[in-house]
Amino acid sequence: MRTLEVIELIRKGNLSVEEHTHKVLEEAKTVNKEYHYFNVIAEEQALVRAKELDAQIKKGKKTGKLLGIPISVKDAICVKGVESTAGSRILEGYIPPFNATAVQRCLDEGAVVIGKTAQDEFGFGGFSVNVGVGFQVPKNPFDVTRATGGSSGGCAGFTQKTKHAHLSLGESTGGSIVAPASFCGVVGLCPTYGRVSRYGLMDYANSLDKIGPMAKTIEEAALLFEVIAGHDDRESTTLAQPAERYTSYIKKPLKGMKLGIVKEAFAKGNDPAVEKHVRDGIGRLEKEGAVCEDVSLKLAIKYGISAYYLVATSEASTNLAKYCGMRYGKHDKLEGSFNEYFTKVRSANFGEEAKRRIMLGTFARMAGYRDAYYLKALRVRSLIIQEYKKLFKTYDALVTPTMPMLPPTFSEIAKLTPLQHYLADIMTVSPNLAGLPHLNMPCGMEKGLPVGMLLTADHLQEGKLVQLGSWLEGRGGGA
């Protein structure tokens, strides 16, 4: 049953929040045994919260755009009172004393947090296989031998798998919302940088991180997005412009809209089945009146990945410095000097990919290399933004496949070199680098596996993405 219908039932008193929450929790526990979508299922807190809401509803307080709706939250997003580790053992046992703004806004609208979802450690990956030491890898809801995509893999997997009304808060740095959404056949909307407050998000790369909604349908994603979007006094990079009613864009006619089909993204090397389904999707949008033209994004495709990894790892390597076993998270026996102590804690508790990115980032910002790597990457980033901005003078949105392949198997992933691993993000990295809103819409099924289309719009044009996405609804993903 769809979220909006469930909210209506709850509002009318035909369904209790506790009952619905209970159902979803039971399902989550069962599913988790095989699929590992949750790092923590916050059963106790969720049921307490559900009872509180029921009591309020009885007293007549029935407002709230998400009244009684269970939400799962990516582990990197802080939830007060619930262990939040960003999927890393170094934060084992850390219970945040505050809610992330996005979480708080959902709670203020009547939502119930049911748990923290699996992810690549601190978001460092595109398949959710780079989980922290001691964590389980989430499995694709269509085929357990395949990956969910990452890094918001737990969000996407459970969103697909659940039979109940449920929404999910994901987070993207270089594609971590749309990539798993594509592999799991769900809707994932990554907003404009600064549109949703990052307050309470454990940072991967602060100039790139964005919290966004994941859901079965575009309407539900738009609803969740309405709730979390907007300025936040506690987060300096949030934008001042007021959020819009994004749900009002659903099924707005496409006549007069111009789409740019990115040539470079339909080149050799893509899985032909992916291309076929994305072309089908484009055809549907054309049928609704959108005009499509081929465009080129040379710079973004050529330099996006390099610039992204330099900026992201430079920032990440400073963000992760705070995890030293001193104030929170994993501690060790106090021995040796401070240097020896934190080295021991970090060596034992960061995963391989976290260590790799710390080293890459530290190197890129060292004196002597800083100009050639970190600062040059910042300049390239500006040029890529300009390249996009030029296209958005003519086009309302750009279209590519989200991922160039079908969800890969774990054994295929194991054969990838780190560079091949990074290259899988080729379509998703550039919109992230440019801070542009982008949307994964499921657009077809191939061999029982979902294919996703990526739509990218100009800054703050999430409305257009919702509008376009609503005409692609119901095409694959089994949602």
Partner 1 sequence: MTFTTDVVIGLEIHVQLDTKTKLFCGCPTKGSADAEKPNTRTCPTCLGFPGSKPVLNKKAVEYALRLCMALGCELSPKLIFSRKSYFYPDLAKNYQISQYEIPLGLKGTLRLGDGMVVGITRVHMEEDPASLVHPSGTGSSAYVLADYNRSGIPLCEVVTEPDMHGPEQAREFMNRLMTVLSYLDIFDEKTCVIKADANISIKESGYVRSEIKNITGFREIERALFYEVERQKIAARSGEKFIQDTRGWDAERGLTFRMRVKETEADYGYILDPDLVVTEMTPAWLKQVKGSMPELAEDKIKRYVEKHKIAQLDAEVIAQERKLAELFEKVAKEVNPVLAAKWMRRELVRVMNFNKQTFDDLKLDEKHLIELLSMVEKKEITDQVAQKLLEEMVVKPFSPRPNVEKHGLKRVADTGALQKVCEDVIDENKSVVEEYLAGKEKSFQFLVGQVMRKTKGAASPQDVNGLLKRLLGGKAGG
Burial zone of 405 (CB within 10 Å; 0-12 exposed, 13-18 middle, 19+ buried)? middle
For position 359 contacting partner 1 by CB under 8 A, the verdict is: no
CA dist 54 → 38, 49, 50, 68 (Å): 25, 9, 6, 8
Active-site pick, 151, 152, 172, 317: 151
Active-site pick, 74, 139, 210, 216: 74
Which residue lies nearer to partner 1 by CB, 279 or 365? Answer: 365
Which residue lies nearer to partner 1 by CB, 207 or 409? Answer: 207
Shortest CB 45 distance to partner 1, Å: 18
Shortest CB 456 distance to partner 1, Å: 22
Q: Which of residues 282-341 bind partner 1 (CB under 8 A)?
A: 314-315, 317-318, 321-322, 324, 326-328, 334, 338-339
* Kind of pairing between the strands at 397-401 and 258-262: parallel
CA dist 292 → 256, 257, 277, 281, 400 (Å): 11, 9, 16, 12, 12
323: left (phi > 0), else alpha (psi -120 to 50), else beta?
Answer: beta
What is the residue whose two structure tokens read 């999927």? 87
For position 374 contacting partner 1 by CB under 8 A, the verdict is: yes
Among the listed residues 365, 409, 410, 478, the single contact to partner 1 using CB under 8 A: 365
CB 470 within 8 A of CB 451: no
Among the listed residues 56, 206, 241, 306, the single contact to partner 1 using CB under 8 A: 206
For position 267 contacting partner 1 by CB under 8 A, the verdict is: no
At position 96, the amino acid (one-letter code) is P
Whether residue 151 is preceded by a cis peptide bond, meaning omega within 30 degrees of 0, is yes
HSE, CB side, 13 Å, CA atoms: give it for residue 175.
33
Which residue lies nearer to partner 1 by CB, 349 or 402? Answer: 349
At position 127, the amino acid (one-letter code) is F
The 3-class secondary structure across 365-391, one letter per residue, is CCCCCCHHHHHHHHHHHHHHHHHHHHH
Which residue lies nearer to partner 1 by CB, 53 or 436? Answer: 436
306 closest CA partner among 205, 358, 376? 376
Active-site pick, 176, 197, 314, 470: 176
Among the listed residues 272, 347, 367, 415, the single contact to partner 1 using CB under 8 A: 367
151 is catalytic: yes
Number of residues that bind partner 1 (CB under 8 A): 45
Q: What whole-number distance in Å separates Cα of residue 360 and Cα of residue 284?
A: 43
74 is catalytic: yes
For position 409 contacting partner 1 by CB under 8 A, the verdict is: no
Q: What whole-number distance in Å separates Cα of residue 88 and Cα of residue 110?
A: 29
For position 350 contacting partner 1 by CB under 8 A, the verdict is: no
Helix ranges (DSSP H) in 174-216: 178-184
Which residue lies nearer to partner 1 by CB, 273 or 378? Answer: 378
Q: Which of residues 224-243 bind partner 1 (CB under 8 A)?
A: 233-237
Catalogue the E-assigned strands of 139-235: 139-140, 143-147, 167-172, 187-190, 210-215
Which residue lies nearer to partner 1 by CB, 202 or 227? Answer: 202
Which residue lies nearer to partner 1 by CB, 201 or 465? Answer: 201
Q: Convert residues 77-96 into a mask of x (bound to partner 1 by CB under 8 A) and - (unbound).
A: xx-----x-x----x--x-x
Q: Convert residues 161-180 into a mask of x (bound to partner 1 by CB under 8 A) and - (unbound).
A: --------------------
Q: Among all residues, which ones are annotated catalytic?
A: 74, 151, 176
Q: Report the interface residues with partner 1, using CB under 8 A.
A: 77-78, 84, 86, 91, 94, 96-98, 100, 198-203, 205-207, 233-237, 314-315, 317-318, 321-322, 324, 326-328, 334, 338-339, 342, 362, 365-367, 370, 374, 378
